[in-house]
Amino acid sequence: PYPLYAELRKTPVVRDEDGPYLVSTYWEIKSLLHDPRVSSDARNLTPEAARGTDLEQDPNLPPAFIRLDPPEHDRLRRLAMRPFGPPHTPRRVFDMHGELTEIVSGLIDALRDRDAIDLVDDFSYPFPVTVICRLLGVPREDEKHFHEWADTIAASLDPPGTDEERQAQQESLRQARGDLAAYLAGLVEERRRAPRDDMLSAMATDHGPDGQMSPVEIITTAALLLVAGHETTVNLITNGMLTLLRNPDVLQRLRSDPGLAVPLVEELLRFEPPVQMLPQRTTLADIDIAGTIIPKGAPLYLMVASGSRDPQRFTDPDRFIPDRTDNQHLGFGHGLHNCFGAPLARLEAQLALTELVRRLDAPRLVEDPPPYRRNAVLRGPRHLPLTVSG
Ligand code: HEM
């Protein structure tokens, strides 16, 4: 997609036929992400723009806060953040360091004696679902259900081939969503009665200036964390390993200097970001941007992956520079919807990549490019077959 983005950036704002307005340059995207006249509210979408989001949004539940505007967004985000809020933020994520390392090691141990693996199915997929389960406080014996639900939700994000496939996909999605919501409702009730040290308990019992979250709000928020925190992290780890295998000198550097993981993950979020664009935004008024008037009520696609390669902002934007400085990429968005899970996602990717290069013996790509998923929003290989020296 990157040559296409370079073409797009020649005109910062373009209209895709009769459809959405595409914004592709760094400063314009950033300014729109901070503009109160741009709405994320799912209920403001035109019917055409809303088509396709039915997969993401459960019609039986109110929108999660990623699809709400202030003040509803801010109240729910603050409530969901509270378990991480000061003084907890660094501690919570830091506390998870040991647990994350243990999960990563367990998954890599299971690959011992294999001489061929699929990094996606064997590692990138299971890792972040397990992490979200631990964060929420899902009992270990129930984690397998989350893996299944996450698989179904993930499959539904890629467009189906035929109408029949679409129908089957919708049906299994409906089922998975219903099961997930019912399961969470039960667990929320349990934690309300007997809280533990986990996020569901905190959301179910905390009182504060914003009041309390209703059970439905807790369920939509927990489901949002699963959807927003799973596939994205899968793709960051897979894109990361692919980029390292294409740049063996950088892989060697990371092996001998794990500290490189910090700037490296930022550069991956700029250079090969899991989230390529933020669709599903609507203008609440006419907005003049880079000399183009985007009319009120227009659907807007913010092409963040293009912004992160804008030569007006980044020197040598098409070069992968693992220790790049001043790297204010748009990989986690910006403004009031900026990624809620960014500190956790960073730590997951840093640990995963460091351990993978340290422990996998002579990993090699079986095919380059590997098979990619068909998805314009989320970019990453569907499979990453590797050979390793068992
Ligand atoms: C929002 C990317 C991991 C939870 C976002 C946004 C981006 C993003 C671009 C902005 C969406 C928008 O403006 O509409 C990523 C990437 C990740 C990642 C690339 C991994 C590499 C996670 C994780 C969690 C999470 C691990 C949770 C544990 C969220 C939530 C929002 C969000 C709840 C909505 C925030 C709001 O609306 O205020 N993420 N994310 N993300 N992310 Fe992430």
- Domain boundaries defined on the chain: 2-360+371-387
Atom of ligand 1 nearest to the CA of 224: 33
In this predicted complex, what is the ipTM? 0.98
Distance from Cα 115 to the centre of ligand 1, integer Å: 35
pLDDT score for 59: 64
* Whether residue 220 has its Cβ less than 6 Å from ligand 1: no
Question: Is 345 a pocket residue for ligand 1 (Cβ < 6 Å)?
Answer: yes
What pLDDT is attached to residue 84?
67
- The residues of the chain scoring below 50 in pLDDT are 54-55, 87-88, 90
Instruction: Decide whether any atom of ligand 1 lies within 6 Å of the 232 Cβ.
Output: yes
In angstroms, rounded to a whole number, what is the distance separating the alpha carbons of residues 54 and 57? Answer: 5
Ligand 1 pocket member 199 (CB < 6 A): no
- Closest residue to atom 5 of ligand 1, CA basis: 339
pTM score of the predicted model: 0.94
**Residue 383, token pair as written in the block:** 């499979």
pLDDT at 328: 97
314 Rama sector, left if φ>0, alpha if ψ -120 to 50, beta otherwise: beta
Q: What is the pLDDT of residue 70?
A: 96
For position 297, what pLDDT does the model report? 94
Supply the pLDDT for residue 342: 93
Ligand 1 atom with least separation from CA of 345: 26
* CB burial string 127-151: b at 16+ within 10 A, e below: bbbbbbbbbbbbeeeeeeebeebbe
- State the pLDDT at residue 51: 62
Task: Report in angstroms the alpha-carbon separations of 269 from 258, 306, 330.
Answer: 18, 12, 8
Q: What is the rounded CA–CA span in Å between residue 327 and residue 264?
A: 10
Strands lying side by side in the sheet with 21-23 = 13-15, 21-23, 299-302, 278-283, 38-39
Residue nearest to atom 32 of ligand 1 (CA): 339
What pLDDT is attached to residue 87?
46
Superfamily holding 2-360+371-387: Cytochrome P450 (1.10.630.10)
Contact call for residues 152 and 173 (beta carbons, < 8 A): yes
Q: Whose CA is nearest to atom 37 of ligand 1?
A: 66
Atom of ligand 1 nearest to the CA of 236: 21
Q: Is the CB of 83 under 6 A from ligand 1?
A: no
User: Rounded to whole angstroms, how far apart are CA atoms 257 and 100?
Assistant: 20
Report the nearest-CA residue for atom 6 of ligand 1. 339
Q: Distances from the Cα of 157 to the Cαs of 47, 241, 306, 327, in angstroms?
A: 19, 22, 21, 29
Of 35, 129, 133, 232, the one to substitute when testing ligand 1's pocket (max ligand atoms within 8 A of C-beta) is 232
Q: Whose CA is nearest to atom 21 of ligand 1?
A: 233
What is the position in ligand 1's atom list of the atom closest to the CA of 225?
Answer: 27
- Name the residue at shortest CA distance from atom 13 of ligand 1: 337
Q: Whose CA is nearest to atom 20 of ligand 1?
A: 233
Residue nearest ligand 1's atom 42 by CA? 339
Atom 39 (ligand 1): residue with closest C-alpha? 339
Taking only the tens place, the pLDDT of each residue in 34-60 is 999 999 998 887 777 666 554 456 666
**Residue 378 phi, psi dihedral angles, 5° rounding:** -100, 125
Q: How far away, in angstroms, is 287 Cα from ligand 1 center?
A: 26
**Does any ligand 1 atom lie closer than 6 A to the CB of residue 77?**
yes
